Amino acid sequence: MDKQQVVFDTLKQLNIPYEAVNHPAVYTIDEMDALHLPHGESVVKNLFLRDFKGRRHFLVVLRQDKTADLKALRDKLGCTPLSFASQERLMQYLGLTKGSVTPFGVLNDTGHTVEVVFDSDLEGSACIGVHPNENTATVFLSYDNLVRVITCCGNPVRTVEL
């Protein structure tokens, strides 16, 4: 089944309102900004990280204008040093390719092992923009509804100050 359709079907099944915008493939926040999408300022940055031994994997979601201090994040998550996971791991755990990293990737995480970490700045946001498992569209929905999708998938979710 189409990766995007899985997202849309899940949102429909959970009766979650959203707005979807199709656009050319993008790989960076700068490319997203250049599209001048409605609600473009609410598009988030997503980082797929692993711990030192590759036993734990984290999808970190933060405002597009922020950077994540991986040493500080490591302490908050209580894990070994963090680094960016390889494209192979991204495909293995979330079924995603570079440029398409999104919290909706948990829909492909059959082991429910990827831990989703939100920056506390996003908590309660009325509008967050993320890809629907492909970088040719952006879905806008509330923070609470995005968390609902993730928890319904069975993946751990936590919020930390980044």
Q: Which domains does the chain have, with CATH numbers?
A: 3-160 (3.90.960.10)
Q: Is residue 26 classed exposed, middle or buried when 0-12, 13-18 and 19+ CB atoms within 10 A define those classes?
A: buried
Q: Phi and psi of 62, rounded to 5°?
A: -145, 165
- 38 vs 59, residue with greater confidence: 59
pLDDT of residue 107: 96
How would residue 1 be classed by pLDDT, with cut points 50, 70 and 90? low
Whole-number Å distance between alpha carbons of 15 and 3: 19
- The chain-wide mean pLDDT, for the chain, equals 95
- Give pLDDT, residue 40: 84
What pLDDT is attached to residue 38? 86
Tell me, yes or no, if the pTM score tops 0.85: yes
